[in-house]
């Protein structure tokens, strides 16, 4: 049996944890994956893309935030998304390697990923983790310092996100 002081200590600790968790923000993104025509270097090709953009959208959050990404697969193949550089210690089944941590999202269905950020900070990236889809389904994952904290260096005047993909040359 627990004493009154032990129970009171647990109550205070749980209150502190709730307050800490409440300070982190929750972000929601929708990714619609489908074949889209793109023209590069005077050639038009149909590629599998996210929200009709190539590369895909930038996810921009703060350290410690929670991100939900609802992936609607309107393609003809199963697909998964991998959050490159994000630890996912509490939910490894949302990490993307198909048939290892999760089954692919079947064509015509959707799946919502929960990405729990802990100590990650900086510019990472996300990408499809299914066969050839990783060549065109990818984007940046920008994790800014936690709200109320500063950069470990002078804050930049401006930021530009560049996404390079070595597989792009196969398509254009």
Sign, CA torsion 67/118/103/75? positive
Helix (H) or strand (E) holding 7: helix 4-23
CA 57 to CA 60: how far, in whole Å? 9
Q: Does position 124 have pLDDT exceeding 70, yes or no? A: yes
Q: Which domains does the chain have, with CATH numbers?
A: 23-147+159-170 (2.60.40.420)
Residue 114, classified by CB atoms within 10 Å of its CB into exposed (0-12), middle (13-18) or buried (19+), is middle
Q: Look at the block and give the residue holding tokens 């996300």.
A: 126
Give the residue-averaged pLDDT of 15-44. Answer: 80
Q: What is the pLDDT of residues 53-104, one digit of tens each?
A: 989 999 999 999 999 999 999 999 999 999 988 988 777 777 777 888 889 9
Q: Does position 43 have pLDDT exceeding 50, yes or no? A: yes
Assigned token pair, 24: 């982190």
Give the residue-averaged pLDDT of 122-149. Answer: 90
Q: Does position 126 have pLDDT exceeding 90, yes or no? A: yes
Q: Please state the pTM of the whole predicted model.
A: 0.80
CA 163 to CA 141: how far, in whole Å? 10
CA 41 to CA 26: how far, in whole Å? 39
CA 129 to CA 139: how far, in whole Å? 13
**Residue 85 vs residue 6, higher pLDDT:** 85
Please enumerate in sequence order all residues whose Cβ is within 8 A of that of 128, keeping only pairs 6 or more positions apart, or say none. 33, 48, 79, 80, 81, 82, 134, 136, 137, 138
Q: What is the pLDDT of residues 149-171, one digit of tens each?
A: 988 888 888 888 888 765 544 44
């Amino acid at each position: 049996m627990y004493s009154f002081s032990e129970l009171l200590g647990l109550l205070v600790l749980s209150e502190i944890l709730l307050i800490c968790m409440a300070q982190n923000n929750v972000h929601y993104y929708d990714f619609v994956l489908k074949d889209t025509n793109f023209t590069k270097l005077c050639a038009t090709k149909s590629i599998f893309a996210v929200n009709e953009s190539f590369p895909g959208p930038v996810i921009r959050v703060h350290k410690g935030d929670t991100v939900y990404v609802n992936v609607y697969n309107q393609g003809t193949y199963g697909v998964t998304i991998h959050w490159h550089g994000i630890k996912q210690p509490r939910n490894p089944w949302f990490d993307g390697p198909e048939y290892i941590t999760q089954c692919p999202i079947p064509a015509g269905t959707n799946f919502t990923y929960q990405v729990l950020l802990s100590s990650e900070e900086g510019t990472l990236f996300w990408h499809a983790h299914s066969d050839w889809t990783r060549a065109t389904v990818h984007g940046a994952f920008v994790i800014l310092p936690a709200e109320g904290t500063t950069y470990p260096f002078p804050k930049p005047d401006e930021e530009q996100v560049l996404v390079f993909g070595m597989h792009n040359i196969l398509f254009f």
